[in-house]
Amino acid sequence: MSTPNSPARSPLIAVILSLAATGLGQIYCGRIVRGLVMFLGSLLFAPAIVVAALLPPATIVLIGLILALLTVLGVYVFAVVDAFRLARRGRDFFHSMDYNHPLVYALFILVGLTYSAGGLYFIRSSVFEAFAIPTASEVPTLLPGDRVLVNKTTYLRRFVRRGDEVVFRVPSEPGLNWAKRVIALPGDTVEVKVNEVIVNGRQLPREPAPRASLGAAAQEVKGELFEEINAGRRYRILFAADTKPLPDYPKAKVPDGMCFVLGDNRNKSRDSRTMGFVALGDVLGDVQHRYWPAATWARFGGLTE
């Protein structure tokens, strides 16, 4: 139902309402269908992120995440500009509808802001969280300056595996998170002797890896490069040049609820050899994507590719 005698639409109010809730500026200007499409579309970002977290890590998944974010931002900007233009056209003539009411606007704003704030909190706490890599302890897998996405849903769906690159809390240093490689799990025996890693009585096989396998990042990596194999998982490790090996780690059994981790840069890493076992409850998730790589954009994408 419309009300013929209604005040003209204010471009300023249309912009403010659109900023508060995507599409609300259009509803204010009488374009209910357009406004609802924009409003409901803006709510699809969080479900899209959850779906991406359930997919295997791959460059195409990361590209999809970035495109989804850019699409939401683009719709948000377009909605503001479109609302401004609609309000300017409706300055002299506008038929108000039943939904053109402050209580309706307040409801849209409440839902929009609550969903946005709650969605962002949920994504960061339970789905994906971004981390910056400050040190060289995970070279060649991660370089200082890399920015990565950690998937926090992985270990809700499966148990931690040997070979996973994980981020975990450090109880002795509150607020600090480290990235390391899982080497052994509860019940395993583990030993490090002269840089040889022995799990359940067997030395982890490794073979020299060609520096060409690092691509454009090869010049950033100095030392002996190897590919290590653990429970069928292959990953590169480094013995940095001009660096003494760390002390041996005596044979020990991994307790229940714990894991043993090493840095991929074996001679330049604080890990379980010095800090002891890591509680599985402190593992936040596995590192899956480099969204802002150091050294070269050729390293952009899924970590396992």
Q: Would you tell me how many other CB atoms lie within 10 Å of the CB of residue 300?
A: 16
Nearest to 290 by CA among 119, 63, 71, 127: 63
Give dist(CA 46, CA 67) in Å, integer.
Answer: 13
Told to judge if 272 belongs to the known catalytic residues of this protein, a careful annotator would answer no
Active site residue 2: no
Distance CA(153)–CA(128), nearest Å, equals 8
- Residue 151's contacts (CB-CB under 8 Å, 6 or more residues apart) are 53, 57, 127, 128, 285, 286, 288
Catalytic residue among 18, 42, 152, 180: 180
Of the residues 18, 42, 137, 272, which is catalytic? 137
Asked if 38 contacts 75 with a C-beta cutoff of 8 angstroms, the reply is: yes
Q: What is the dihedral of CA 196, 199, 205, 209, to 10 degrees?
A: -70
**Active site positions, annotated:** 137, 180
